[in-house]
Amino acid sequence: MTAVSANIQRISAARDLDVRVADGCHKWMRSFTAALLLVLLGGILLSAAPFFGARALFDDMPLESWRRVGGAATFTLEPPANGATGPTLVGKGPIERNGFLVSPRELGDFRLAVDVRIGSSEDLNGEKMNSGIQVRSRDIGGAIGGLQIEIDPSQRRWSGGIYDERGRGWLSSLRENDAGRAAFQLGAWNRYEVECIGPRIRTRINGVSCAEWYDGVVAGLLAFQVHGGPACEVAFRSPMLEELGRHAWQSVPNDVTATDEGCVWSSTIPANARGFRVRVAGPAQLAILAGDGACLAEITVPPLAVADAARPRSCEALWVDLEGAVLLDGALERRWNWKSQPMRVRVLGKSCVAEGAEVLQPTARTVPSDPR
């Protein structure tokens, strides 16, 4: 091979290498660009429609159909700004007592996503302020009572916790949830996600799980709160709502037989049920059974003081996807993980009376479920 031929081959090989390197770089850049676009597009889609079937809250329920209850807070709906996908509801005080902007109708099962920021130009972090989002709530004569998803920028940091406004007080705090307490960012927008399905209420802030509670109240009003007291300013940006249907309590008959010694109530639980409740007067034992008769749980209803011995007590067993809780007079008795679907409940006691047994069942579904 001549020197000229050798040089020509080296030049050709180098040119081929350059082409392969350039082609590889182009492919890598194309892949990187496509991945980046997917990430950005995913973020946009998440912001615009966080749930399958979600709709802009104030498109579905226009602001003029909402009403103010309680303290005379001001609520204004500002148009989208700074890249937001929807309008921002701004509530301001100061007011002497809690004020609420209340939905025109009740909601059953739903998911809500909204960006929340609390604070003002005088108090950027809002650490002396407080607010909340009411779910499954009710008008109790000039005030709103019911479950509240907390907005708490104080040093306690219980944002995302579940509080019963004008009722039982704290139901699910963040006392033992360090990750949940750290999720809320002071002076910044925070993504709140609230899911109410059947008896279960779950909350997340910025993707972090904060609180979970099971409750027998399965429908009610939605409301935004401005807390009474010192100046409070809170903003709710781009709220999106997905309605998932409803559950309702339905009475069930007592099919106890004469041979069922010591049993005062026995009822079948339908396969699609997500709860059972009964009023019991006197000391009793509730046995929750699987379809094969195996005992899934035993719940003791202790006697009351002599003066209240005849007063019926509410006992509720509530679950979703075989996880749930037992409430006695609305207070948490214990949490449960069922091994299988409850199919029967029996109330046992020599001197007790049981009445008003009901099961919780889905009654309607308004939109398809999320296929993801």
Name the domain boundary from 205, 226, 244. 244
Question: Containing domain of residue 157, as a range?
Answer: 55-244
Q: Is residue 47 part of a domain?
A: no
334 and 301 within one domain:
yes
Are 102 and 208 in the same domain? yes
Are 322 and 197 part of one and the same domain? no
129 and 256 both lie in a single domain:
no
Domain boundary residue among 244, 268, 294? 244
Task: Assess whether 237 and 117 both reside in one domain.
Answer: yes
- Counted domains in the chain: 2
Residue 164 and residue 277 in one domain: no
pLDDT at position 307 is 78
- pLDDT at position 39 is 35
- In this predicted structure, what is the pLDDT of residue 52? 63
Domain assignment of residue 216, yes or no: yes
Domain boundary among 244, 279, 301: 244
Give domain status of residue 46, yes or no. no
pLDDT at 51: 60
Q: Are residues 264 and 153 in the same domain?
A: no
Same domain, 192 and 238: yes
For residues 360 and 72, give the distance between their C-alpha atoms in angstroms, rounded to a whole number: 37
> Quick one: pLDDT at residue 15?
47
User: Is residue 26 situated within a structural domain?
Assistant: no
pLDDT along the chain (372 residues), means of 10: 47 45 45 40 40 87 97 96 92 96 98 97 94 98 96 97 98 98 98 98 98 98 95 96 96 89 93 96 94 93 82 95 95 93 94 94 66 40
Co-location of 179 and 277 in the same domain: no
Q: Are residues 208 and 67 in the same domain?
A: yes
Same domain for 273 and 213, yes or no, is: no
Here the CATH number for the domain that contains residue 319 is: 2.60.120.200
- What pTM, to 2 d.p., does this model score? 0.84
Q: Is 33 contained in some domain?
A: no
| pLDDT, position 368 | 44
| Residue 124 belongs to a domain | yes
Give the pLDDT of residue 345: 96
Identify the pLDDT of residue 82. 85
Question: Domain check: are 189 and 140 in the same one?
Answer: yes
pLDDT of residue 50: 52
